[in-house]
Amino acid sequence: MAEILIAGVGTTTFGDHAGRTGRELFAEARSSALAESAVSSSDIDALYYGNYMGETAERQSHQAPLMASGIGTTGLEATRVENACASGGYAVADGVRAIESGAADVVLVGGLERMTNLETAETTAALARAADELHEGRPGLTFPGAYALLADAYMERFGGTREDLAHIAVKNHENAATNPNAQFHNEISVADVLETPQVADPLGLLDACPISDGAAAAVLISGEYAAEHNLSPAVAITGSGRGTDSLSLQEREDLTRTKAAESAAQAAYSGADVTADDVDVAEVHDCFTIAEVLALEALGFYQPGEAITAARDGETAHDGQLPTNLSGGLKAKGHPVGATGVGQLVELTKLLAGTHPNANAVPGAEVGVTHNAGGTVATAAVHVLEVAR
């Protein structure tokens, strides 16, 4: 894979940004990324921008030229990328592909979502449109119910308890407590998780990620551009993969595996010439606690049926063998859908560069992975990041 360097990253805080527009949020993230990159905006060849529900939340479609207009250059290729909750990860993948193919030397990738300005029922309905409308939407299945089905299938086959899942939420809240960009800074206990109302058995309120606003952006450059402009970014994207599964759960052979993520991981590892054993730190898509379990297994860190106890046993804690979601994850950092995949890239870049508030948990880390999933992992984007040589 061609050398692709992360020249700069930027993000807003994730949470409730009442009174701010999407264009304002993205401008903040974009400006921060460009300032950190030391790249002239006039050198940007393309913008790949992830957004899922702009038509519903802001009555604004055709957002790519809107978000490109503040960059300050004309003739820019601007593309909106929509793949449900994986929109941001796919925007990153498109940026990687553009540089890898030689079509671009400098790409701005980003994502945005505004969600808190809608009533909860409106947001839930909008998110549900990322599932199969015929087989899941019409009968009234929403994502809490869908992930509850995945949890039920997993526990029926492999075992595991609600308490095992609760440890994941506790871990991620602990990590978010020291991340200034996170939506939640309160630590919680296993008892807190188990005592909250159930949303869809076996998942409770604290097993689910929150409704969030936020934006994130990154400037990607080719190795040739970096050399020509005397730039030495600390982190590179060395592997990029995408995968797809059936949209409808009823069409899947096995609800205990997320095959889209497995395919994406294999492609990313192959491109980077690494294996799961080489990974030091991971940011995975934990929209619900069971999703972190499925992600860890799809990425090859655990065999099927083994990741359910990883958080309980401390293996994925900040001082464990595979620190996972040091940002707080979607669970506690927040999940502004279109921004999430790029937000993972921002967090992991800072962790590997040693500039993240939680970087002391992974001293000497050289290889990290981001995992961004759409819907019930009907789509997935996986990226390998490494300390630049």
Residues taking part in catalysis: 85, 335
- Residue 71, both tokens: 């960059």
The full 3-state SS of the chain, as one line of letters, equals CCCEEEEEEEECCCECCCCCCHHHHHHHHHHHHHHHHCCCHHHCCEEEEECCCHHHHCCCCCHHHHHHCCCCCCCCEEEEECECECHHHHHHHHHHHHHHCCCCCEEEEEEEECCCCCCHHHHHHHHHCCCCHHHHHCCCCCHHHHHHHHHHHHHHHHCCCHHHHHHHHHHHHHHHCCCCCCCCCCCCCHHHHHHCCEEECCEEHHHECCCCEEEEEEEEEEHHHHHHCCCCCCEEEEEEEEEECCCCHHHCCCCCCCHHHHHHHHHHHHHHCCCHHHCCEEECCCCEHHHHHHHHHHCCCCCCCCHHHCCCCCCCCCCCCCCECCCCHHHHHCCCHHHHHHHHHHHHHHHHHCCCCCHHHCCCCCEEEEEEEECCCCEEEEEEEEECC
By residue count, the chain amounts to 389
- Residue 19, both tokens: 């009174």
Residue 7 · residue 38 · CB < 8 Å? yes
- Distances in Å between the Cα of 57 and the Cα atoms of 3, 4, 21, 213 are 37, 34, 10, 11
- Cα(99)–Cα(102) distance, rounded to whole angstroms? 5
Nearest 5°: phi and psi at 109? -115, 145
Which residues contact residue 247 at a Cβ distance below 8 angstroms, ignoring those fewer than 6 apart?
Answer: 131, 132, 375, 378
